[in-house]
């Protein structure tokens, strides 16, 4: 058996289930679950119509690289969204559809990492646990890049020792960040790209929250945008991961893409041909429709803005919590231990949130998720407001 299996830690939601075991919340308070980042807004009706219209595709084996129409739609979306030159991004050369970015973020490490036991995979801390599992099962060691309030919840590039960069094979980025909503600026991304050139590592930029931002006039920049702006027309060593789950409220569709360095795309396509993970034709048709429409995405952002404003209006008099630049999470400070806070909040108010320490590891002398809980504002606004009032009562109560 792969020895890395024994090194995999329980997933955060397994820990949360264990934390709440045996508790009996008040029966008169309906359960409100804000622990998981599962979008609950309505899926676009026109996407559902595309699925039903293309069910005849069930009788076909899909190609691993996806259809030309889907790859072209993705390339054109990237050109619009990140102001990339038309000649820079090509659906045949730079794009690979995937069945959700969770699967792709994991598989990418298995393809890229060379299984040197001294090799490192650098990842933000707190982090999406897929990064850690991918590193371990690829035969590398995770290196946890602490993000804290002191550095604006962003990776501090200058804090990484040269020896780490020398041993680095792959860097996972997450901007906008999960769980913090922090956004890396263009200059920071370009500094990291320069280090990738110098030390010969690959950047996997998880940009799954990039379409949920609170300032309509300031969309987060992306790794391909940063590379193009510094003259790297081939996006060398850079790969961007995107998904329809958050952008279009389609987590069950399992549709996303990887885009960037054509040499890495070719290698990942070869890997995935053996992996056996082609996207069904009806999913491709639905995805084309979703990537080609921005109206539903703007409406989605407006819903999240309204929820943040309403919830923070309730919470801020009692708890100083910042509105994030992007994403749909609140990174709430707790008056004491974050796991105790989450457990007692569930026991007394029947609201589920995720302890920040479950999303991070002890590294360099601290656990940067300690003393915080992640609150996913994914439910409809009335339920989010009800949860906010219960959290306020919990904090203010005896």
**What is the rounded CA–CA span in Å between residue 194 and residue 365?**
28
What pLDDT was estimated at residue 97? 98
What pLDDT was estimated at residue 61? 87
What pLDDT was estimated at residue 327? 97
Same-domain pairing of 240 and 312: no
- Structural domain includes residue 56: no
Same-domain pairing of 15 and 117: no
Segments forming the whole domain that contains residue 348: 3-42+296-396
How many Å from the N-terminal Cα to the C-terminal Cα in the chain? 52
Q: Which of 116, 232, 222 is nearest to 169 (CA)?
A: 116
- Structural domain includes residue 259: yes
Sheet holding 354-355, edge to edge: 329-333, 372-376, 354-355
b/e burial code for range 112-126 (CB count within 10 A of at least 16 → b): bbeeeeebbbbbbbb
Q: Using the predicted structure, report yes or no on whether residue 398 has a pLDDT greater than 80.
A: no
**What is the rounded CA–CA span in Å between residue 90 and residue 126?**
34
What pLDDT was estimated at residue 91? 95
The CATH number of whichever domain residue 100 belongs to comes to 3.40.640.10
Same-domain pairing of 96 and 241: yes
Same-domain pairing of 270 and 321: no
- Structural domain includes residue 54: no
Q: What is the pTM of this model?
A: 0.96
The SS3 of residue 95 is strand
Q: Using the predicted structure, report yes or no on whether residue 21 has a pLDDT greater than 80.
A: yes
Chain-centroid distance of CA 63 in Å reads 26
Same-domain pairing of 206 and 115: yes
Which of the listed residues 258, 293, 328 is the one where a domain comes to its end?
A: 293
Residue 235 contacts residue 94 (beta carbons within 8 Å): yes
Same-domain pairing of 278 and 135: yes
Same-domain pairing of 152 and 274: yes
- Structural domain includes residue 51: no
What pLDDT was estimated at residue 58? 82
Which of the listed residues 278, 293, 308 is the one where a domain comes to its end?
A: 293
- Structural domain includes residue 279: yes
Q: Which residue has the higher pLDDT, 36 or 276?
A: 36
Same-domain pairing of 35 and 153: no
- Structural domain includes residue 53: no
Q: Which of 304, 282, 302, 257 is nearest to 39 (CA)?
A: 304
What pLDDT was estimated at residue 304? 97
Same-domain pairing of 200 and 74: yes
pLDDT per residue as tens digits for the range 287-297 = 999 999 999 99
The CATH number of whichever domain residue 342 belongs to comes to 3.90.1150.10
Same-domain pairing of 122 and 211: yes
Stretch among 156-160, 191-195, 274-278, 383-387 having the lowest mean pLDDT = 274-278
**What is the rounded CA–CA span in Å between residue 370 and residue 337?**
7
pLDDT per residue as tens digits for the range 301-342 = 999 999 999 999 999 988 989 899 999 999 999 999 999 999
- Structural domain includes residue 47: no
Same-domain pairing of 365 and 257: no
Structural domain count, the chain: 2
- Structural domain includes residue 52: no
What pLDDT was estimated at residue 113? 96
Which of the listed residues 293, 309, 336 is the one where a domain comes to its end?
A: 293
How crowded is residue 98: how many other Cβ atoms within 10 Å of its Cβ? 26
pLDDT per residue as tens digits for the range 160-189 = 999 999 999 999 999 999 999 999 999 999
Same-domain pairing of 267 and 325: no
Q: Using the predicted structure, report yes or no on whether residue 89 has a pLDDT greater than 90.
A: yes
């Amino acid at each position: 058996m792969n020895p890395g299996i024994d090194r995999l830690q329980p997933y955060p939601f397994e820990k949360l289930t264990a934390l709440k075991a045996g508790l009996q919340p008040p029966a008169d308070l309906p359960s409100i679950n804000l622990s998981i980042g599962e979008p609950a807004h309505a899926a676009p009706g026109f996407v559902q119509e595309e699925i039903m219209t293309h069910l005849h595709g069930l009788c076909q084996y899909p190609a691993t690289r996806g259809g030309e129409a889907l790859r072209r739609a993705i390339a054109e979306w990237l050109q619009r969204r990140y102001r990339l030159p038309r000649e820079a991004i090509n659906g045949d050369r730079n794009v690979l559809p995937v069945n959700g970015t969770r699967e792709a973020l994991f598989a990418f490490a298995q393809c890229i990492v060379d299984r040197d036991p001294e090799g490192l995979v650098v990842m933000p801390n707190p982090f999406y646990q897929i990064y850690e599992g991918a590193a371990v099962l690829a035969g590398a060691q995770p290196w946890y890049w602490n993000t804290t309030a002191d550095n604006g919840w962003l990776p501090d590039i200058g804090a990484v020792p040269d020896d780490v960069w020398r041993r680095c094979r792959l860097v996972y980025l997450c901007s906008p960040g999960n769980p913090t909503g922090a956004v890396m600026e263009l200059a920071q991304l370009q500094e990291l790209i320069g280090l990738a050139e110098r030390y010969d590592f690959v950047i996997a930029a998880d940009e799954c929250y990039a379409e949920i931002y609170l300032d309509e006039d300031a969309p987060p920049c992306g790794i391909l945008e940063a590379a193009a702006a510094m003259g790297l027309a081939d996006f060398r060593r850079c790969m961007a991961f995107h998904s329809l789950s958050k952008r279009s409220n389609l987590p069950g569709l399992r549709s996303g893409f990887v885009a960037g360095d054509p040499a890495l795309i070719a290698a990942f396509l070869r890997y995935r041909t053996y992996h056996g993970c082609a996207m069904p034709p009806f999913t491709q048709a639905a995805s084309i429709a979703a990537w080609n429409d921005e109206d539903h995405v703007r409406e989605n952002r407006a819903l999240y803005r309204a929820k943040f404003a309403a919830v923070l209006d309730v919470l801020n008099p009692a708890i100083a919590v910042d509105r994030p630049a992007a994403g749909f999470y609140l990174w709430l400070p707790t008056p004491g231990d974050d796991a105790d806070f989450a457990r007692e909040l569930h026991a007394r108010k029947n609201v589920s949130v995720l302890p920040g320490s479950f999303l991070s590891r002890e590294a360099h002398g601290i656990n940067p998720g300690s003393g915080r809980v992640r609150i996913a504002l994914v439910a409809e606004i009335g339920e989010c407001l009800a949860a906010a009032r219960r959290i306020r009562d919990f904090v203010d109560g005896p």
